Amino acid sequence: MEQELPLVSNLDRVASVRAVQRTRFNLSLERVQPYLYLLPAFALVFIWVYRPLIEIIGLSFSQWNLLPTAPKVPVGWANYQQVLVLPEIQRALINTVAYTVGLLPFSLILPVIIAIFTYGIRSKMGGIYRAIIFTPMIIAPVVVTVLWRWILDPYTGVLNAGLQTMFRVRPINFMGDPALMIPTITFITGWGLVGFCTLIFSSSLAGIDRSYLEAAAIDGASYWQTVRYIMLPLLSPSILFVTLLTVLFSSQWTFVHINVLTISSLRATTSNIYTVLYDFGFRSFNIGVSSAAAVLMFIGFGAIAIVFMWLQNRFSFYDS
């Protein structure tokens, strides 16, 4: 009996040590477990976003024509110097600014007006209205462009036929007149953008505490005073967010319409920064210049995003 006591004591000591080790392991696993769930997402982001970005930075300092057998010739800063003096890039930047400014009424002004005037629709009509207004955004951009090309055709288009019938005007070549091409592409892009931005503002309005509106009504505030001093300030985060989206993605949103609508001889008239990158990379096979322009565009848009984040933190008004 005296010989069994040390054995039992040793077994208890071993069991307690194992229990402590299991507890430590479980605690370590609990700390690491969230990162294990995020690991696939991080891996995909690195493979599809950061790895190509690193490769583009490397290609911007070399000359290559995309052929696997062709060598990549280092050229230093020559590609960046060429980008800064290319007339195509300068014209594309001017057009990009024109598209961005032209899309702001469709992404900002009209959606805010529609969202405010339709605020408070709670019946089944609200769902129908949201479905109708969002439909243009879910249609494939190529299909939208083809439909609008048919509508705007100077000889067989519905719009020109209506204008000739009502006003006796000559056919308008929306796709062939250089003065009308950028406004036409901007309108087609904005037509599909209104519904998406309206839903953003409608969602923001739906989150407003109705007690503010009720208090304003009790104090005798008019409808326009309620809009000016309650709705618009509480919409400021969404307004800055949509403005940032328009600035960053206006070239991407108009890219498909430019490719489908514009003929080769007039492509320079409607080009934006995305179409120039595509033309240099996959038409001229000048990957170095295309990569250098992409890096500069990334830096420029990154700086714009930082400025908008500062503006949002500085001027946004939150319901809290």
Q: Tens digits of per-residue pLDDT, 188-213?
A: 999 989 988 998 998 888 888 888 88
Cα atoms found within 13 Å of the Cα of residue 105, Cβ hemisphere only: 8
Q: Tens digits of per-residue pLDDT, 29-71?
A: 677 777 788 889 889 999 998 999 899 999 999 998 888 888 8
Confidence of residue 164 (pLDDT cuts 50, 70, 90): confident
| Confidence (pLDDT) at 215 | 86
Q: Tens digits of per-residue pLDDT, 166-178?
A: 888 888 888 888 8
Q: Which residue has the tokens 């170095």?
A: 288
| Confidence (pLDDT) at 101 | 95
Q: Is the pTM of this model over 0.85?
A: no
- Judge residue 91's burial from the number of C-beta atoms within 10 Å of its C-beta, 0-12 exposed, 13-18 middle, 19 or more buried: middle
| Confidence (pLDDT) at 258 | 92
Per-residue tokens: 136:
């243009």
Per-residue tokens: 176:
């062939």
Confidence of residue 297 (pLDDT cuts 50, 70, 90): very high
Partners of 74 in the β-ladder: 62
Rounded Cα distance, 145 and 148, in Å: 5
| Confidence (pLDDT) at 253 | 92
| Confidence (pLDDT) at 16 | 67
| Confidence (pLDDT) at 6 | 55
Confidence of residue 320 (pLDDT cuts 50, 70, 90): low
Confidence of residue 14 (pLDDT cuts 50, 70, 90): low
| Confidence (pLDDT) at 27 | 64
What type of residue sits at position 235? Answer: L
Q: When comparing pLDDT for 97 and 30, which is higher?
A: 97
| Confidence (pLDDT) at 163 | 86
Percent of all residues in the chain with a pLDDT value above 90, rounded to a whole number = 34
Q: Tens digits of per-residue pLDDT, 234-290?
A: 898 899 999 999 999 999 999 999 988 887 778 888 999 999 999 888 888 889 999
What 3-state class would DSSP assign to 195?
A: helix
| Confidence (pLDDT) at 13 | 67
Confidence of residue 5 (pLDDT cuts 50, 70, 90): very low
Confidence of residue 1 (pLDDT cuts 50, 70, 90): very low
Q: 238: closest CA among 139, 318, 175, 292? A: 318
Confidence of residue 94 (pLDDT cuts 50, 70, 90): very high
For the chain, list the domains and their CATH numbers. Answer: 16-59 (no CATH), 78-315 (1.10.3720.10)
Confidence of residue 78 (pLDDT cuts 50, 70, 90): very high
| Lowest mean pLDDT, pick from 20-29, 150-159, 227-236 | 20-29
Burial letters 236-270, b for 16+ CB under 10 A, else e: bbbbbbbbbbbbebbbebbbbbbbbbbeeeebbbb
| Confidence (pLDDT) at 122 | 66
